[in-house]
Amino acid sequence: MHFGSDNVMGASRPVLEAILAANDGAEAAYGSDSWSARAEAMLGEVFERPVKMFLVATGTGANALALAAMTPPWGAIFCHEESHVIDDECGAPEMFTDGAKLIGIPGLAGKIDPAGLSAALARFPRGVVKAVQPAGLSISQVTEAGTLYSLDEIKALTGVARDAGIRVHLDGARFANALAGLGCTAAEMTWKAGVDVVSFGATKNGCIACEAVLFFDEALADTFQFRRKRGGHTVSKGRLLGAQLVAYLENGHWMDNARHANAMAATLAQGLAAVPGVTLPWPTQANEVFAFLPKAVDEAIRGAGFRYAPWGSLSLPKDLEQGDRAFARFVTSWATKPSDINALLAKATSTS
């Protein structure tokens, strides 16, 4: 009954079993093991081209190190004003980039648009020694509002980035949920749409402290092994991460998990929207539901033991009438039970 986030759940059975299988015997350390090699090859198949894969323990580490590979210390990284990299990483991107500047861009429902990106780029002219120099764009897919950029929206943004000569990073802490939501291929959502570097999250969708930084351009990955080690993210028993990713990708386990989480969110969103007085500010496109709840509904479901996060967002339409209602975020996961969704909806419905 915990909808606080998808990381409130543990790891999935196949992932745990893969750790046990990889646990026996001895293997080379620091990622030079057969499991990690297999995971990298499997990702090459998923993305339909060779990728350079670097495993790290956290999404914050993945993002901060990926951005560091894209920018000099005097660079500017453009992102949504409520992105994880700017709001939720305690300055790790600034630290790992040796002080590059993150430029937050406003946008509805967690998304930035090409006009917003162009306007932000214009504030930092090339060659002007007083200004940080444009170096990268970071977009989140799934966004911090639980929404998705369409493929056309990604391409429009990466087009502006390409014209400005900057690289593109995709924060895919919920990469599988995004793929399941869009129903496209991993290649279409990334390199075919102009993305250079991906933080490929696995932890939230069934793994334990296992995230991959993926490069499609080997040159950009050139110094990454040193950055990762210097940043304290080169895991010595790396095979136990590699094994997780193998199990995660094998037999479509990762996509099964994501489709389940998204289906649970869709049911929850549909049910909540039918409760009198409840409104959703934007569509539920992956595994996060945002809703305005009448105070009585909020108190009743909270009182019944359901846990979820009170929320606030700059991404809401400015003219939105919140009234005397609570704003809440519910996150579903690979392990969410349909009975929990039904129980929550029953309580909300009987209260209203």
Ligand X SMILES: *Cc1c(COP(=O)(O)O)cnc(C)c1O
List residues near ligand X by CB under 6 A.
58-60, 63, 84, 140, 144, 171, 173, 203-204
Which one-letter amino acid corresponds to residue 174?
R
Q: Which is nearer to ligand X, 61 or 238 (CB)?
A: 61
Reference 57, options 154, 160, 157, 199; nearest CA is 199
Strand partners, 287: none
DSSP label of 206: T
Helix axes 239-249, 253-273, angle to 10 degrees: 60
- Tell me how far apart the alpha carbons of residues 250 and 253 are, in angstroms, rounded to a whole number: 6
User: Hey, what are 67's tokens?
Assistant: 């951005």
User: Hey, what are 244's tokens?
Assistant: 């997780």
Least CB distance to ligand X at residue 15 (A): 16
User: Hey, what are 202's tokens?
Assistant: 């696995």
Reference 3, options 315, 310, 316; nearest CA is 310
Least CB distance to ligand X at residue 58 (A): 4
Q: Which residues contact 42 (CB under 8 A, 6 or more apart)?
A: 245, 246, 249, 250
Least CB distance to ligand X at residue 231 (A): 13
Q: Which is nearer to ligand X, 133 or 257 (CB)?
A: 257
Residue nearest ligand X (C-beta atom): 59
Least CB distance to ligand X at residue 316 (A): 18
Q: Which is nearer to ligand X, 109 or 173 (CB)?
A: 173
Q: Which is nearer to ligand X, 133 or 141 (CB)?
A: 141
Q: Which residues contact 151 (CB under 8 A, 6 or more apart)?
A: 182, 184, 188, 189, 193
Least CB distance to ligand X at residue 204 (A): 6
Least CB distance to ligand X at residue 84 (A): 3
Least CB distance to ligand X at residue 292 (A): 22
CA dihedral 230, 195, 333, 63 (to 10 degrees): 20
Q: Which is nearer to ligand X, 70 or 345 (CB)?
A: 70
What's phi and psi for 173, nearest 5 deg?
-55, -30
Q: Which is nearer to ligand X, 133 or 140 (CB)?
A: 140
Q: Which is nearer to ligand X, 175 or 191 (CB)?
A: 175
- Tell me how far apart the alpha carbons of residues 205 and 210 are, in angstroms, rounded to a whole number: 10
